Amino acid sequence: MSRCYLDTNFLYVHLRSERSEAPRPLEDWRSRVLAQVTVDGGAISALVHDELAYRLILAWLRDDGVDDPLSAYRADAQTVMKAVRRRLTATWRAVDSLSLELLLTDSAVVEQARSLMARPGLGPRDSFHAAHALVAGCSAIASTDAAFDDVPGLHRLAP
């Protein structure tokens, strides 16, 4: 086993599902990933922070009864950010408590991402996630995204 890169979708469903409320496939997935992460360590990148915040903000708007969260966000992002500030702060505290390694984006990551865009032809965002994992020596990625199955050297922990 080795360190595992956590894709945004894993952290998102973890933070949005209490153990007693989670459907069985999610709980199985969470258990398998955590068995690896709590022993060998987990890692994320700034991309995960960005995507997590964005998805949570839209989800919280919907929780608050906003019919069209994306339009509300686009119309006045600053007001939305103020409205979710406390929840976002609590989320960062939760993420920090998980002691995940924050991987840096350096020239090696950019080079690796460019290479993955060329072959096997990953999309830009997926390429950057995979590049962070590979450069940091993570051999596993917890993700729902099947695109990572095409990345040599990366084993996907799927739901």
* Site residues, other proteins (CB under 8 A): 9, 12-19, 21-23, 25-26, 29-30, 34, 37-38, 47, 50-51, 53-56, 58-60, 63, 69-70, 87, 90-91, 94-95, 97-99, 124-125, 144-146, 159
Distance CA 105, CA 113 (A): 10
CB of 58 to other proteins, least distance (A): 6
Query: Hey, what are 115's tokens?
Result: 């290479």
Q: Which is nearer to other proteins, 27 or 139 (CB)?
A: 27
Q: Which is nearer to other proteins, 34 or 117 (CB)?
A: 34
Q: Which is nearer to other proteins, 60 or 105 (CB)?
A: 60
User: In whole angstroms, what separates CA 7 from the centre of its chain?
Assistant: 3
Alpha helices in the chain (DSSP H): 8-15, 24-40, 46-63, 69-75, 77-83, 85-97, 107-118, 124-135
